[in-house]
Amino acid sequence: MQLPRAFNPALGMGFVPACRNGGSLAESRRVPTWILEMGETQPVAWAVLVLSAVSVAGLALSSLKVRGIGPGIAAVLFAGIAAGHFGIRIQPEILEFVREFGLVLFVFTIGLQLGPGFFASLKNNGARLNALAAAVVALGVASTILLVAATGMNPFAGVGLFTGATTNTPALGAAQQTVAIMAQGNAAAAEANRAALPALAYAVGYPAGIFGIIAAMLALGKIFRIDPAKEAAEFDAARKKGTEPLVRMNLVVENPNLDGLSIGEIPGRREIGVMVSRIKRSAADGVEAATEQTAIHTGDRILAIGTAKHLDAFRLIVGRKGGMDLMHMPGRVAFRRVVATRKEVLGKTIAELGLDSLYGVTITRVLRGEVELAAAPELRLRFGDFLHVVGDGEHIAKAAAVLGNSLRALNQTNFIPVFLGILLGVLAGMVPLAFPGLPVPVRLGLAGGPLVLAILLSRIRQIGSVVWFMPATANTAIREMGIILFLACVGLKAGENFVPAILGGDGLLWLGCACAITTVPLLAVGIFARAVLKTNFIDLCGLLSGSMTDPPALAFANSVAKSDSPSIAYATVYPLAMLLRILSAQLLVLLFAR
């Protein structure tokens, strides 16, 4: 088989194979002409076709495993590199748009999911994780400088390797901007060549960076003989350790000072954070629902809900423990879990709703994500909160109607907040941040801006009638779609020059240096974090992928952990790591230009 003509960038397919009789495949009617010309006549349809084919091939490869180890979602990148190598092309403008939009979808949905957990992690071990991520960046800079000095490679290629080996496209853009500004006023052709070198080295270093991050995580798992399932269980247990569960306690009212007071008037109850859901009168047989207005008398039995520590304090105020369990006694008391979905109640406190006085029901606890909260009167409701409501069945139904309790609304995705959040995130990513001593301002870019805004918006949750909430299934679907599109486009772009760059000139040297820039800092910090600081492997995977600002590595880490838990550490260190990598790339340019 011969290749009758070289790749034409104007066409979608880079070549038309010839038949043995000298005619093309189109002439022999093996492949219709309209398919071969689709890249030129219908570039959008061709892009959809190519991206779909690459995604299918990559996802099929992702399921292949050898001794339990497989490429995971990163297989889409490999499929894209293969397609790009064999001459399959998409118009550059379309390719760039799909790549960046896929990245925005991926990081934005991660931010929405992890916002509350991100702020909680900052209170726990966030400072330590960010210090380790900064160490990874610093070691990467040091490795780049040493390799440039030791090998004698063009220092501007070293800058490109630093950005590619750490899979950081915004850092490459910042470096190119710095090189372009330095070249102003110089007519020398060497300056123009300098601006092109970082991009070519980046293309070589990027796949090596992804391979290196995955290899580092697998190596650490082997070195320390880590069981991912066990580490995930320990990680979840550690997260829940700081949150004391809510329990019930049956009490007998013996304090004569409380006789005749309403439950809302019991001294210290609100400050302690204890709720009372049921009451049995001393002279009655049945159990009733208790509200803030319910009066208590000496000898009454009540069912209180709170943490064990708070209930012990409440017991000293009320009286003593009672052996009778009100939960299993007959009476006109029912229990129902109701979800807050009605816009009119969102943002209001439980006291402002007044469900106890209106319908005689009591909200005893609130389940918000994975956190169970006592239903304190000052607690403000958020969309998707599950409320434990106690009362008689008829009144609970009325309270549920007020709260919304619409599973359809809970599972429905409102795309106005999604695109509004993306809009704000892109704008935030484009804001120039000036730092003393740098010739150009730095930006968070399309990867950092949407992530930071999504984290903040998921924490705020609601502004007016706009609620930033996305069902878990929708979040996962959009996130997976985003990373698949991103990886397919990166692979197609890198595949164009990947093999020629490796086989020609300094390609193999660049590839080896890129592997070193990736793996040496990760292994050094990873071994220290595990051996000395005893960092959980789930946190460690999130730390390593976040310090490299690498979404494919995060996807691989999640697949290894069989959960999204590594995403918490990833989101914790990502903003600082992104900023440090952008700054480092520009500092390397300034250093090498001397």
What does the pLDDT read at residue 10?
Answer: 36
For the chain, percent of residues with pLDDT exceeding 90:
19
Between 30 and 443, residue with greater pLDDT: 443
* Helical (H) or strand (E) element with 217: helix 189-223
Region of poorest pLDDT, from 128-132, 136-140, 449-453, 480-484: 449-453
| Residue 182 confidence (pLDDT) above 90 | no
pLDDT tens, position by position, 372-383: 777 888 888 888
What is the DSSP track for 445-506?
Answer: HHHHHHHHHHHHHHHH-EETTEE----HHHHHHHHHHHHHHHHHHHHHHHHHHHHHHHHSTT
Which range has the top average pLDDT, 9-23, 42-56, 113-127, 264-278? 42-56
Q: What are the b/e assignments for 32-58, b being 16+ CB within 10 Å?
A: eeeebbbbeeebeebbebbbeebbebb
What is the DSSP track for 237-283?
Answer: HHHHHTSPPPEEEEEEE--GGGTT-BGGGSTTHHHHT-EEEEEE-TT
Between 170 and 323, residue with greater pLDDT: 323
What is the DSSP track for 398-441?
Answer: HHHHHHB--HHHHH---HHHHHHHHHHHHHHHHS-B--TT-SS-
Beta strand ranges found along 130-286 (DSSP E): 247-253, 275-280
| Residue 398 confidence (pLDDT) above 80 | yes
pLDDT tens, position by position, 247-298: 889 999 999 999 999 998 999 888 888 888 889 887 777 888 888 888 999 9
Region of poorest pLDDT, from 89-93, 240-244, 423-427, 554-558: 240-244
Task: Please state the CATH superfamily assignment of the domain spanning residues 246-306+342-405 in this structure.
Answer: Regulator of K+ conductance, C-terminal domain (3.30.70.1450)
pLDDT averaged over every residue in the chain:
80
What does the pLDDT read at residue 300?
Answer: 92
| Residue 242 confidence (pLDDT) above 60 | no
Region of poorest pLDDT, from 63-77, 94-108, 483-497: 63-77
Q: Hey, what are 445's tokens? A: 């870019």
Instruction: Say if residues 355 and 363 touch (Cβ distance below 8 Å).
Output: yes
Task: Assign 362 to helix, strand or coil.
Answer: strand
Q: pTM above 0.75?
A: no
Q: Where in the chain is the domain with CATH 3.30.70.1450?
A: 246-306+342-405
What does the pLDDT read at residue 27?
Answer: 46
Between 192 and 55, residue with greater pLDDT: 55
Phi and psi, residue 376, nearest 5°: -65, 145
